[in-house]
Amino acid sequence: MNKAEILIIDDEAQIRKLLEITLQSNNYTVNQADNAKNGLITAENHPPDMIILDLGLPDDDGQSVLKKLREWYTNPVLILSVKNNEEDIISALDNGANDYLVKPFRTGELLARIRSALRNSAVEEGDTTITCGEISIDLEARTIKKNNESIKLTATEYRLLSLLAKNEGKVLTHQYLLREVWGPGYINQSQYLRVFIAQLRKKIETDANRPEYIITESGIGYRFISKEE
């Protein structure tokens, strides 16, 4: 069993209790801190495999804690916050958060996000194939298969899909995708992204209108998820 260690930085005792029970019963080891200062000290003394960070801490802004962590900490950081506006979410992702979940949240959803974040950080640079549910991507041959049937993609579609799939489970912002796939001059051309996402969905989703792989995060970006095992 994996015994990944997760540090919770949240000032609300109720949330910490809920997370502790949820995570421990799913075989994670849990550490806790109730403010920014303790959180940073605990993380430094004993670097966890993952950190769950609240944005509204009593002694410091969560975004600045995130920036301080990212100066040295490379494992996943998941933001768990009541703030649900797009600016906060985008700046948390820009500041290096791997994922963002808004309170109130479903514990099933939280566990899925934790699993995929930990799985992602375990992906090695040298991996040449990515498999997500029925879809497999061969990064060397640059081919995509769904249920072992080849899917023909254009060059741009391939770049977009492989970028999403390499970051499975993680929200990639519109700006990030536009910059990586089309180039820095295109970061405001979100309609390009919409077109290619729609085309990709037609090719890989069973029902393009009810996508199961490429999920929209309204106003923020897209997330590629593999159907739960």
Partner 1 sequence: MDLFINKVSKATQVLISCSLVCFISALCYSMSKYLDYKIVAFILLLTVSIVAVLFDIIPVFITAILSALIWDYFFIPPHFTLQVGSTEDSILLLMYFVIALVNAALTYKIRQIEKIGRAKEEKANTVKLYDTLLNSLSHELRTPIATIIGATDNLQSNNHNLTDKNKEELITEISKASFRLNQQVENLLSMSRLESGFLQPKKDWCDIIEVVYDAVKRIEENNISQKITINVNPDIPFCKLDKAMMEQIIYNLVNNAVQYTKEDNRIDIIAHCHADVLELIVEDNGKGFPEDEISNVFNKFYRLRNTKTGGTGLGLSIVKGFTEALGGTVYLQNLKTGGARFTIHIPVQTSNLKNIKNE
Rounded CA gap, 116 and 105, in Å? 17
Closer Cβ to partner 1, 40 or 187, answer by number:
187
22 binds partner 1 (CB under 8 A): no
Binder of partner 1 out of 198, 206, 223, 227 (CB under 8 A): 198
Among positions 58, 104, 126, 184, the unique one binding partner 1 when judged by CB under 8 A: 104
Within the chain, strands assigned E span 5-9, 29-33, 50-53, 77-81, 99-102, 129-132, 135-138, 143-146, 149-151, 171-173, 214-217, 221-224
CB of 37 to partner 1, least distance (A): 31
DSSP class of 227: P
Minimal distance, residue 158 CB to partner 1, in Å: 11
Contact 174, 89 (CB under 8 A): no
Look at the chain and count its residues: 229
At its nearest, how many Å lie between partner 1 and the CB of residue 106?
10
Out of 154, 183, 227, 228, the residue judged to bind partner 1 by CB under 8 A: 154
86 lies in the binding site for partner 1 (CB under 8 A)? yes
CA distance 81 to 132: 28
Residue 219 in contact with partner 1, rule: CB under 8 A: yes
- The answer to whether 153 touches 160, Cβ cutoff 8 Å, is no
Cβ proximity to partner 1, 128 vs 218, nearer residue: 218
Question: Which residues of the chain form contacts with partner 1 (CB under 8 A)?
Answer: 86, 104, 154-157, 174, 190-192, 194-195, 198-199, 209-210, 216, 218-219
